[in-house]
Structure 1
Amino acid sequence: MELKEISDALDRIEGKMNDTSEANKAELKRLGDEQVKLSRQLIELQQNAVKAVAPKAEAKSVGAQVAESNAVKAFVEGSATKARMELAETKADAVNPILTPTGGVVQAYRRPGVLAGAFRPFTIEALFPNIPVASNAYEYVKEKDAGFVNGAAPVAEGAQKPFGSTGFELISGTIKTVAHLARISKQLMEDAPALEAYINQRVVYGVDLAVEDQITTGDGKGQNLSGIFTTGNYTPHVAKLADLGTTNATLLDLILFAKTKIEQNYFRPNAILMNPLNWSKLQMLKNGSADYYLTSPASVAQPQLWGLPVVTTQAVAVDTFMVGDFSAAGTVWTRTGMTVELFEQDSDNVEKNLITIRAERRLGFGIERPGALCGGALTVPSA
């Protein structure tokens, strides 16, 4: 019986019970009993309605249902050789909430471009003048060492004027090729232009890296350039302990000695080359009171010694240095600047959809005035 129907029946009963005549007394007793019965039904319906909206007990998980099933209990006890059970449905939102998908379902954020590795800064080549040439060889006329004889002198009136002389020699060199190859797929070139550009950059960087190493330490044999640290291309400092003026000599004194030696050759030093590790050691030098010569931990010393800028580069070996008038010491002869080309017709590229990248430079390098460079071992002589 619906709640509204019970309520209407109770109203009708109450209306009849208001009639208190003698004729209705027996009827009143019957109606009272019926009212009690309907009231109980009404209370029961209300209680059921409350239960309908009350929160339900949390559903058991699949694992709990399996563990508590009689079939599993019998299997555990050894009275059954297998266990099979049918599980009640479990709503996913009750015990299996929706979580962030993993395993690539949701696309991860990708940082744009390519995270570059380390690139060594290039500094040495820029210290020298660069002259373009249109041949595979270069040459120049050089004054011989000690080739100038100065005959100028005061002369009496009518006397013979003195002669001077200058000796010359022809110096020649050849252009060398420094090249670098890489191979990438054609699909990569079409689908990932940023990655392809980065690969190109690395190929170009490799050529410039090799050029700087050649200008620094090339031995001049075969296809190698002749670098500034090659014997004959610079003046060794050959300092003795007495040359540094004191028994408390430091590396700072040695560098000043090399600078002075260049000035004695009539050149003007404009830079000092050394490895970053050695510059760090120089910054650590302290006097007898433990005060830093060049800096303090609260500040950063400018890379400069004796009025000259210090150029730090890993191209220079640890514990070596070079002071020089680099603009007068030598020349970079450029036949062809950096050239980058892409080829499909190389080896089996066509069969494999590959592209070959080639980067190269053609250049020469020559030291014309070894007296403008002075350096060697960056160690205080023991005697």
Structure 2
Amino acid sequence: MTTIRMNLRRAMPHVAIAALAVNQPGSVVGFPRNEADPVQRVLGELRAQLDRITGDVSGRVDAASRRLEDLETRNRDIEQLLADGARGGRFGGGSSESPGEIFIRSEAFKNFGGSAGRGNISAVVQAITSASTSAGGMIAPDRRSEIVGLPKRRLTIRGLIAPGTTNSNSVNFVQQTTRTNNAAVVTEGAQKPESVLAWTEADAPVRTIAHWVPVSRQAMDDAPMLQSTIDGELRYGLSVKEEDELLLGSGAGQHIYGIIPQATAYETSRNGTGDTAFDTLAHAIAQSEVALLPATGIVLNNNDLESLKIIKDGDDRYIGGGPFGPPITTIWGRPVVGTPAMAAGEFLVGAFLDGAQIFDRLDAEVLVSSEDRDNFIKNMLTVRAEERLAMAVKRPAAFVHGAFPAGAGV
């Protein structure tokens, strides 16, 4: 709220002219005017002074009136500018009077004009603010075009596994199950030893991962970025589910048969007293070496990977680079990745390139169609994303899966 105050005072002299006349000497009263008379001279000076004061006060009143007129004119100009800015309307639907009009029409101003001009003028007017009931409707928001989405996890497992493609609904391969090597030196004419080799047929069926979302045609037409945003979100959803299936798929029903359910169990007999998580991983790598399938990568839970940074030795020194060291990307010379798909406290060490292979049948695709249920009559669209793939764990012994022992630091 704005308060306009004006303070005008009229200082009228109180001259006791009548008293002078009454106190005039008796010898002067009734006689003809004598310009040389001292009393007449004093009276003349007083009249002249009175005229000067009266003129000065009148000038001040005229100046105040002009200032009031200027104030009213300025307020009307402001009102006109605001009206033009609002295209003929009023801000916020409030009062239609300008601050100047409110002041001129106030009782305080009327009382001032009808009085001798002495005292204060105070009138309360409505200030223009950014509130919704004032000028707020004219302030345009600074709208950004990008869409701020939810965080996405880093996808790591596919990059570790050997890639491939297929044109069928199933990938069949022959897997060796037995190798009994009885080769030996023999004497001339003696029977040679027989070795045992066996194979079995294995199958990796192609599985479909898919999902969809409904969206109105109007939204798709009116928001150009919406289609690309939905496309990205649906593709990301496929990748997240794919990573879970590659690691943990049970193989039952339409699930992919994942790596961990087929991996070789970690030999806990390798653990030693006081082992850290680094020691446990070294034991698992050694186990893969014994299986003649040297590990090429390590998979951990994200939290466990971060916990490795703060493991200390007996002298309370960080084993890794400490708070100023680089992030952990390799352990014992093998690349290490983190994923929420891996359970906390567990690890997977493996020869990923030799042990498993992905066969893509259909790369992730996103399609939009109105031919779904009653979409046509409702102006709705169905956005569907799907992919088809198979994964073959050709050498289960190439993978070692286990859990960190208590006290290992993770």
Q: Normalization by structure 1: what TM-score?
A: 0.74
- Change over 3 Å in CA distance of 1:104–1:362 after alignment to 2: farther
The CA deviation string for residues 80-120 of structure 1, in whole angstroms up to 9 with x for no partner, is xxxxxx96388999632222243644222122211111111
CA shift for structure 1 position 247: 2.1
Give the deviation of 1:174 after TM superposition.
Answer: 1.4
Structure 1 residue identity aligned to 2:372? D
> Counterparts of 1:222 and 1:89 in 2: how far apart (Å)?
88
Q: Identify the match of residue 59 of structure 2 among 43, 49, 67.
A: 49
After TM superposition, the structure 1 stretch with the greater mean CA deviation from structure 2, 120-129 or 345-354, is 345-354
Aligned to 1:377: 403
Aligned residues of 1:254 and 1:380 also touching (Cα < 8 A)? no
1:76-115 alignment, distance < 5 Å: 88=107, 95-102=125-132, 104-115=137-148
Determine which of 359, 369, 375 is the counterpart of 1:343: 369
**Counterpart position of 1:236:** 265
Match of 2:360 among 329, 334, 345: 334
Q: Deviation at 1:53? A: 4.0
Q: Is the 8 A contact 1:142 1:168 kept in 2?
A: yes
Distance 1:185-1:299 versus aligned 2 partners, 3 A rule: same
Query: Which of 280, 283, 287 is the equivalent residue of 1:257?
Result: 283
1:130 counterpart SS class: coil
| Alpha carbons of structure 1 residues 161 and 112: separation in structure 2 relative to 1, 3 Å | same
Q: Which residue of 1 aligns with 2:218?
A: 187
Give distance in 2, aligned partners of 1:315 and 1:273.
10
- Alpha-carbon distance between aligned partners in 2 of 1:334 and 1:158, rounded to the nearest angstrom: 54
Partners of 1:111 and 1:219 in 2: how far apart? 45
Match for 1:44: what amino acid?
Answer: T
Q: Which residue of 2 aligns with 1:215?
A: 246
What percent of counterpart residues are identical?
28
Deviations 1:336-368 (A, max 9, x none): 001110011111212221111000001111211
8 Å Cα contact 1:177-1:363 kept in structure 2 = yes
Residue aligning to 1:15: none
User: Could you say what secondary structure the match of 1:135 adopts?
Assistant: coil
On the 8 A contact 1:249/1:380 being kept in 2, the answer is no
Distance in 1 (CA, whole Å) between partners of 2:351 and 2:227 is 41
Unaligned runs of 5+ in 2: 1-32, 69-104, 110-120
User: How big is the shift at 1:202?
Assistant: 1.3
Query: CA offsets per residue over residues 177-210 of structure 1, 9 Å max, x none?
Result: 1001101111110111223322222111111111
Per the TM alignment, residue 31 of structure 1 is displaced from its structure 2 partner at its CA by 11
Task: Decide whether the 8 Å contact of 2:309 with 2:328 is kept in 1.
Answer: no
Distance 2:217 2:108 in 1: 54
1:1-383 to 2 correspondences below 5 Å: 37=47, 40-53=50-63, 88=107, 95-102=125-132, 104-144=137-177, 146-147=178-179, 149=181, 151=183, 166-230=197-261, 233-240=262-269, 243-244=270-271, 246-380=272-406
Contact 1:329/1:370, CA 8 A, preserved across alignment: yes
- In structure 2, what is the Cα distance between the partners aligned to 1:330 and 1:285? 32
- 8 Å CA contact 2:164, 2:357 repeated in 1: yes
Q: Give the letter for the 2:234 counterpart.
A: V
C-alpha distance after superposition, 1:30-73 (max 9, x if no partner): 999888656633432322323444588xxxxxxxxxxxxxxxxx
How many residues align structurally? 323
How far 1:150 sits from its partner (Å)? Answer: 6.6
5+ residue gaps, structure 1:
1-24, 57-85
CA distance in 2, matches of 1:157, 1:110: 92
Q: Deviations over 1:187-237 (max 9, x none)?
A: 11011122332222211111111111111111000000011111xx11111
Q: CA deviation at 1:304?
A: 2.2
